[in-house]
Amino acid sequence: MRFCVSSQVVRLAYIKGRVHGLNKPIERVLWCQIKLDEPLKPEPGQFVMLWIPGQGEIPLSISDYSVDEGILELVIAKVGKVTTYIHERLKEGDLVALRGPYGRGFSVVRESTCLIVAGGCGLAPFPFLVRKLLEARSSVDVILGFKTASEVFHVAKFVHLARRTFVATDDGSYGLKGTVVDVIKDVVDIKGYDIVYVCGKEKMMKAVVDLCREHNVRCEASLERYMKCGIGICGACVLDPLGLRVCRDGPVFSSTILALIEDFGQSWRDHCGRKIPIPES
Amino acid sequence: MSVHTEVALAGLRLRNPLILASGILGSTASLLVRAGSAGAGAVTTKSITKEPRSGFENPVIYELEYGLLNAIGLANPGMDFFKKELKRAKQLLRIPLIASVAGSRPEEYADLAARAEEAGADAVELNLSCPHVKGMGLDVGHDPKLVREIVEAVKGSVNCPVLAKLSPNVTNIVEVGKAAIDGGADVLVAINTVRAMVIDVDSKKPVLSNKYGGLSGPAIHPIAVRCVYELYEAVGDTVPIIGVGGVMDWRDAVELMLAGARAVGIGTALYTYGLKAFKVILKGIVNYVKEQGFRNLMDITGLAHKYS
Ligand SMILES: Cc1cc2nc3c(=O)[nH]c(=O)nc-3n(C[C@H](O)[C@H](O)[C@H](O)COP(=O)(O)OP(=O)(O)OC[C@H]3O[C@@H](n4cnc5c(N)ncnc54)[C@H](O)[C@@H]3O)c2cc1C
Ligand SMILES: Cc1cc2nc3c(=O)[nH]c(=O)nc-3n(C[C@H](O)[C@H](O)[C@H](O)COP(=O)(O)O)c2cc1C
Ligand code: FES
């Protein structure tokens, strides 16, 4: 008997690994390398459930993965209970456990011209995607948006891989002044891209998806919802009205599908499953 | 010769005997509808309580080679919110909608059931068997007297069929099943998950935040077969039985039917194989029934008793 998710056979039980490298590019963000005991076969855009015994288990995007070294990279923003514990207590050499990789990731298109759009920590899944796109002989432009200069991080990771990297801050304290949407409208020619990938706050993603639809450009967005099981059975992460599960049918969805999802950019569910509006910030 | 897949279940007519089990995908109208479109004969909602419950903290699930261990903790938005989902599901579904409810006192079950029926449920299932929430489910479902009182109270508050979902975590499931029937249960559902635990050897801690959970999937299938067999032996065809537990393929489903189940619940298989499980399993059952020379899927219910 085989247990499968999205027609790929997944590993059962937690995969163990040790914290290999830790670094805080900015106060709010931890960059973490984990050397795994067993090899993974992740796709860009997939996620893992990271378990910190006694603290909790949270979904995190695979930020990068090196097959040769078996090293997984995560980008972890400090927002609440588990992430704060990770920020304050995790040390090099610590044993961690994770399950996955789960979900459907980004399409890695061949020999195409691609644009990546990321807001803040939404850049997490993109280092891995950029490498995979380059391996597929595609060229990649990147737009990174942050609130202000003190929040800017990981720019160098993209600059040396991407054809062009644009950085924008809301207050203009670093790079261009404005949002990523402003950069798309004013600086690049969106019609020149075969595909646009976006990750960040959902209202921003909605604006980018709408812009792409307007110009008939293919687009994929990576969504976030509160997750419990991560494997598509509990219903915590469902999107109406199609009943799509972010953990199993996503987290990456195409703009064609997103056009049919009334929850996109509008609402998500709290821990009990009640639908609530997505907060503005 | 074609085979009739319809089954009658205490006044409910199902186009086929495969029912979405409670707690798997049943948390929203959209997911219930998706299960319906995938081929389910009926769908059961996640168990709904009076108040909203956020459930236990993660980890709430653990994947094993032979099944799933879960302690979701009856996370649900509460009946006030869920009535909207039930209404919507009822509007969109062409198959019976079973609302599962969980509580701790007879009046609470009765009130929840009445509200579920009012919102459009075609039947109510009483969760008397969740193995990991204090004061609910199994905590009430191991006491035959209380089970009888709960079913009686619910029967007094609704007109639709009442399903009693039983736990394998009792010494004598037949005693509880009979108590439910004495209270007026129209259908017995067996089984819920089996109380279990997994410990991580590196951290030396139970994996689930709640420590204990419920085991589902292939590991519990033989337990489900035994429970259904015992119940059928005791009640025969007087009250139909829905067999649930580790149905991964048509063979597992047929086994439960031979043991005495008229319909079969599907849960963990939807994790393992996705929503296509409904169609694949149904096709296998139909082939079996045809090859065995029967005309109705219902004809094989309880046959194992005849030959044993
Ligand atoms: C597929 C996926 C990939 C992710 N990848 C990353 C990543 O690469 N890097 C990263 O830093 N984060 C990522 N996240 C987010 C991350 O999982 C959360 O930040 C983390 O779970 C928070 O845990 P916590 O215990 O620290 O916070 P908690 O204490 O649990 O919560 C922090 C705050 O967020 C609120 N909240 C968050 N989501 C919801 C929601 N849906 N409904 C209601 N309230 C909500 C909580 O109520 C609370 O106020 C990802 C999430 C998903 C679903
Ligand atoms: C994640 C999960 C959640 C469940 N939630 C409920 C529930 O809310 N109410 C209930 O009566 N049973 C619940 N169950 C039990 C199932 O309905 C079913 O009885 C059990 O899983 C055995 O069937 P299976 O092996 O086909 O999964 C749940 C099971 C799982 C795996
Ligand atoms: S988190 Fe359980 S279905 Fe997605």
The CATH code of the domain that includes A223 is 3.40.50.80
How many C-beta atoms surround the C-beta of residue B274 within 10 A?
Answer: 18
What is the distance between the alpha carbons of residues B230 and B252, in angstroms, rounded to a whole number? Answer: 17
pLDDT interval class at B1 (50, 70, 90): low
pLDDT, tens only, A47-62 = 999 999 999 999 999 9
With 80 as the cut, is the pLDDT of residue B308 above it?
no
pLDDT at B266 over 90: yes
User: Minimal Cα distance from B30: which residue of A?
Assistant: A243
What average pLDDT does the segment A62-83 reach? Answer: 96
Do A40 and A63 belong together in one domain?
Answer: yes
Same domain, A141 and A215: yes
User: Which chain B residues are closer than 8 Å to A1 by Cβ?
Assistant: 65-66, 218, 248, 272
Q: Which of B78, B205, B218 sits opposite A54 (nearest CB)?
A: B205
Interface of B with A in 25-84 (CB under 8 A): 25-34, 46, 52-55, 57-66, 68, 70, 72, 75-78, 81
Note the residue count of chain A.
281
For residue A40, the enclosing domain spans: 2-102
Q: How confident is the model at residue A91 (pLDDT cuts 50, 70, 90)?
A: very high
**CA–CA separation, B129 vs B193, rounded Å?**
8
A57 CA to centre of ligand 1 in angstroms: 10
Same domain, A95 and A153: no
Its pTM stands at 0.95
Residue whose pair of structure tokens reads 């489903």 in the numeric block: B253
Does B59 contact A233 at a Cβ distance shorter than 8 Å?
Answer: no
- Same domain for A191 and A217, yes or no, is yes
pLDDT at B134: 72
Please tell me whether residues A117 and A58 are part of one structural domain. no
Token pair for B126: 């009483």
173-232 of B, contacting A, C-beta below 8 A: 200, 202-203, 205, 207, 209, 218
Whether pLDDT at B132 is above 90: no
Evaluate if residue A152 carries a pLDDT over 70. Answer: yes
Q: Is ipTM beyond 0.90?
A: yes
Burial A83-102 (b: 16+ CB within 10 A, else e): beebbeebeeeeebbbbbbb
State mean pLDDT over A115-121. 97
Q: Is B123 helix (H, G, I), strand (E, B) or coil?
A: strand
> CA A156, A162, A168: angle at the middle one, nearest 5?
60
Q: Does pLDDT of A1 surpass 70?
A: no
* Two tokens, residue A210: 């709408």
**Which pLDDT value is given to residue A8?**
43
Q: Looking at the domain assignment, is residue A108 inside a domain?
A: no
Task: Using pLDDT thresholds of 50, 70 and 90, give the confidence band for residue B136.
Answer: confident
- Whether ligand 2 lies within 6 angstroms of the CB of B216 is answered as yes
Helix (H) or strand (E) holding A155: helix A155-159
Give the SS3 label for residue A21: strand
Return the amino acid letter for A233: I
Nearest to A107 by CA among A264, A256, A252, A260: A252
Give which of B27, B198, B220, B221 to mutate to test A binding, by max A Cβ within 10 Å: B27
Is-catalytic flag, B160? no
Instruction: Report pLDDT for B306.
Output: 84
Residue B88 tokens, joined: 């919507």
Residue B142, Cβ density class (10 Å: 0-12 exposed, 13-18 middle, ≥19 buried): buried
Beta carbons of B71 and B47 less than 8 angstroms apart = no
CA distance B116 to B119: 5
Residue A252 CA to residue A261 CA, distance in Å, equals: 13
Q: Residue B190 has which token pair?
A: 């067996």
Task: Answer yes or no: is pLDDT of B135 > 80.
Answer: no
For residue B292, how many other CB atoms are within 10 A of its CB? Answer: 11
Where residue B307 falls among pLDDT bands split at 50, 70, 90?
Answer: confident
Q: Are B259 and B248 in contact (CB under 8 A)?
A: no
Question: Which chain B residues are within 8 Å of A93, Cβ to Cβ?
Answer: none
Q: Which neighbouring-strand residues pair with B189?
A: B165, B242
pLDDT for position A2: 41
Residue A241, token pair as written in the block: 């009205």
Tens digits of residue pLDDT in A34-49: 999 999 999 999 999 9
> A196: which residues sit within 8 A by CB, 6+ positions away?
A114, A115, A116, A117, A190, A208, A212, A217, A218, A219, A220
Position B230: which residue type?
E
Q: How much of chain A, in percent, has pLDDT values that exceed 70?
A: 95
Q: Which residue of A has its CA nearest to B74?
A: A272
Tell if the CB–CB gap between A4 and B58 is shorter than 8 Å. no
CB-CB contact of B16 with B6 (8 Å)? yes
**pLDDT exceeding 90 applies to what percent of chain A?**
94
Q: Domain boundary residue among A102, A127, A146?
A: A102
Q: Mean pLDDT across the stretch B72-79?
A: 96
Q: What is the pLDDT of residues A195-253, one digit of tens each?
A: 999 999 999 999 999 999 999 999 999 999 999 999 999 999 999 999 999 999 999 99
Q: Helices (DSSP H) in chain B: which residue ranges?
A: 29-37, 79-92, 106-118, 138-141, 144-155, 173-182, 221-235, 250-259, 269-273, 277-291, 303-307
CA-closest candidate to residue B256, choices B177, B188, B162, B161: B188
Same domain, A205 and A152: yes
Instruction: For residues A111-128, give the mean pLDDT.
Output: 98
- Mean pLDDT within B103-108: 93
Place of tokens 């037949």: B174
Number of Cβ atoms within 10 Å of the Cβ of A135? 10
Provide the pLDDT for residue A3: 43
Last residue within a domain, chosen from A102, A125, A145: A102
Number of domains making up chain A: 2
* pLDDT tens profile B186-229: 999 999 999 999 999 999 999 999 999 999 999 999 999 999 99
Residue B86 has pLDDT above 50, yes or no: yes
Give bridge partners of residue A104 from the DSSP assignment.
A251
Among residues A243, A251, A203, the alpha carbon closest in space to that of A6 is found at: A251
Neighbouring-strand partners of residue B100: B125
- The per-residue pLDDT of chain B, averaged, comes to 95
Residue A262 shares a structural domain with residue A173 = yes
pLDDT of residue B133: 74
Q: Please confirm whether the linkage preceding B106 is cis (ω < 30° from 0).
A: no
B243 touches chain A (CB under 8 A): no
Paired with A176 in beta bridges are: A168
Least confident of A124-133, B62-71, B136-145: B136-145
Query: Please, which residues bridge with residue A239 across strands?
Result: A244
**B129 band by pLDDT with thresholds 50, 70 and 90:** confident
Ligand 2 pocket test, pick from B18, B24, B140, B244 with the greatest ligand atom count within 8 Å of Cβ, gives B24
Q: What is the DSSP letter of A278?
A: P
DSSP string covering B150-218: HHHHHHTT-SS-EEEEE-SSSS-HHHHHHHHHHTT-SEEEE--PEEE--EETTTTEESSTTS-EEEESG
CATH code, domain carrying A48 = 2.40.30.10
Region of A199 please: left (phi>0), alpha (psi -120 to 50) or beta. Answer: beta
SS3 A183: helix
pLDDT of the residue at A281:
67
In words, the CATH class of domain B7-55+73-195+217-306 is alpha beta
Domain assignment present for A107: no
A235 and A134 within one domain: yes
Quick one: pLDDT at residue B153? 97
Query: With bands split at pLDDT 50, 70 and 90, how would you rate the model's confidence at B131?
Result: low
Do A133 and A57 fall within a single domain? Answer: no
Residues 51-110 of A with CB under 8 A from B: 51, 53-54, 56-58, 95, 97, 99
Say yes or no to pLDDT of B173 above 60: yes
